[in-house]
Amino acid sequence: MLRSLRAALVIFLLLVVSTGLVYPLVVTGFAQLFFPHQANGSLIRRDGKVVGSGLLGQYFDKPRYFWARPSATSPLPYDAENSGASNLGPNNPELIRHVRERIQALRKADPRAKGLIPVDLVTSSGSGLDPDISVAAAFYQVPRVAHAGGISEATLGQLVRDNTTGPFLGLIGEPVVNVLKLNLALQRRYGTETHGAAGK
């Protein structure tokens, strides 16, 4: 009995040390050594100040900036402490109503916009915090941003291309545009100073 108890205690201590101390230290050290930017939150800085993370979306509503995809977090959009999807299925009347309202809002923001609206501009992501939009979603907004900001569509198109990230390893996923990085590049064009989120 005592021998079994001693063996169980030794195994318990070994597991505590290996999984609770050694493993976290090894993983943290590996991450800090080879992926320090990602391990520290993929923070985006401008003029020495942290203005956001490349992993978390931010809310933009001014016409002269590019807009991210809708956020499902409530009551505040892109609330990292309240991440989650709406869990509404494709046939749910509430989801259909939300999508129609978002389409109307986009049409109202730019009545001259023609063609189909990219689906990621009217649907939220699984986390509600997606920082990226599709290249099509970025280019769809170019006419509105150009008109509101007084910048040529050619210039904005180049900004979109400059801030497009290709598929992972060139194979996995689709090209995407990080909205915060794109708007920061756009803000430099405007020559304004950033305070926190670029769209605020």
Taking the C-alpha atoms of residue 94 and residue 97, their distance in angstroms, rounded to an integer, is: 5
When mean pLDDT is compared across 115-119, 140-144, 155-159, 190-194, the lowest value belongs to: 190-194
pLDDT beyond 60 at 103 = yes
pTM: 0.75
pLDDT in tens, 154-191: 999 999 999 998 877 767 778 999 999 999 999 988 87
Burial 136-158 (b: 16+ CB within 10 A, else e): bbbbbbbebbbeebebeeeebee
Q: Which residues contact 192 (CB under 8 A, 6 or more apart)?
A: none
